């Protein structure tokens, strides 16, 4: 039980660090490119985080994983099935 809790905490910590790195890279790319090209303001860390979150919601980043049809039990429409 304790090992599961420790594993979960470590997993959450690793995920938080990876998200922070991704946001920092996005912010750096934005702040070095967008103000010069389009004349927009620079982003703070939390503004960059919100943009990444919004992009994930709008463009389908919310899916945890793709489940193949064989596993999910769904059948493809007749026009799509191949022999």
pLDDT in tens, 29-74: 999 999 999 999 999 999 999 999 999 888 876 666 666 666 656 6
Angle of the 45-58 helix axis to the 2-38 helix axis, nearest 10? 100
Q: In the structure, what pLDDT confidence band is assigned to residue 1 with cuts at 50, 70 and 90? A: confident
Nearest CA-CA partner of 26 in 57, 49, 59, 3: 49
């Amino acid at each position: 039980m304790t090992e599961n809790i420790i594993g979960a905490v470590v997993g959450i910590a690793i995920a938080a660090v990876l998200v922070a790195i991704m946001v920092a890279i996005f912010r750096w790319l934005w702040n070095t490119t967008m103000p010069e090209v389009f004349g927009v303001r620079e982003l703070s860390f939390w503004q960059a985080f919100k943009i990444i979150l919004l992009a994930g919601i709008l463009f389908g980043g919310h899916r945890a994983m793709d489940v193949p049809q064989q596993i999910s039990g769904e059948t493809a429409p007749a026009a799509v099935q191949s022999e």
